[in-house]
Amino acid sequence: MDVFEVIKNRRSIRQYKPDSVDDKTIEKVLEAAHWAPSWANQQCWRFVIVRDAKIKSEIADTLNKLTVDNEPVANAAATSIRQAPVLIVLCAEKGKAGYGIDGSPQNDKGEYWYMFDIALAMQNLTLAAHALGLGTVIVGGFNIAKVEKILGVPNTCTVVTMTPLGVPDHKGQVSPRKQLSEVIIKDKFS
């Protein structure tokens, strides 16, 4: 599949078929994630593969309500996490991305550069999954401390984001984008 086609046709998938996803396919998707660029090639990402239905359900329970049009609504991804056969949780090893060899943060974005590296890995993951006919939805609205406790994440790492992975049960709704001209600045902000 052409890369532009994969980028444009990937959609957030919130409903999944019960079909399983084999270890080889998961490895392929995670290999794509692992080839993402990262700060000083530190590869701070750690991928937790969750198949256990009880653990998935406990994690789904930590999802926050989201605000849509100023109204609190349930996070639809909670159902997705329960439905999909696999949940991939992306963690970051702290003190790597954004840090110099002297162990100090390199600029005023401080310690949070790991968010950037994890996002790059996640994007590779979602695109690779789509190219293989699988669905994903990036999840950000959840209680990090609770998920870290459930997964026994060591304090050298932190949970950043997660996605269910499975066979889509629907095509995925197109969320329209703004006109490109609205988001391009030529030379300088005026």
Ligand X SMILES: Cc1cc2nc3c(=O)[nH]c(=O)nc-3n(C[C@H](O)[C@H](O)[C@H](O)COP(=O)(O)O)c2cc1C
The alpha helices in the chain, defined as continuous H runs, are: 3-9, 23-34, 53-60, 77-83, 114-131, 144-151, 180-183
* Interface residue with ligand X, options 18, 37, 110, 141 (CB under 6 A): 141
Cα–Cα distance measured from residue 34 to residue 113, given in angstroms and rounded to the nearest whole number: 17
**Residue 75 within binding range of ligand X, rule CB under 6 A:** yes
Cα–Cα distance measured from residue 32 to residue 13, given in angstroms and rounded to the nearest whole number: 19
Choice between 133 and 140, CB closer to ligand X: 140
Cα–Cα distance measured from residue 41 to residue 165, given in angstroms and rounded to the nearest whole number: 26
Minimum CB separation of residue 190 from ligand X in Å reads 29
Choice between 43 and 79, CB closer to ligand X: 79
Stretch that binds ligand X, among 19-27, 49-57, 75-83, 110-118 (CB under 6 A): 75-83
Cα–Cα distance measured from residue 78 to residue 89, given in angstroms and rounded to the nearest whole number: 14
**x-marked contacts with ligand X along 121-140 as a string, rule CB under 6 A:** ----------------xxxx
Binding site for ligand X (CB under 6 A): 11-12, 14, 75-77, 137-141, 172, 175
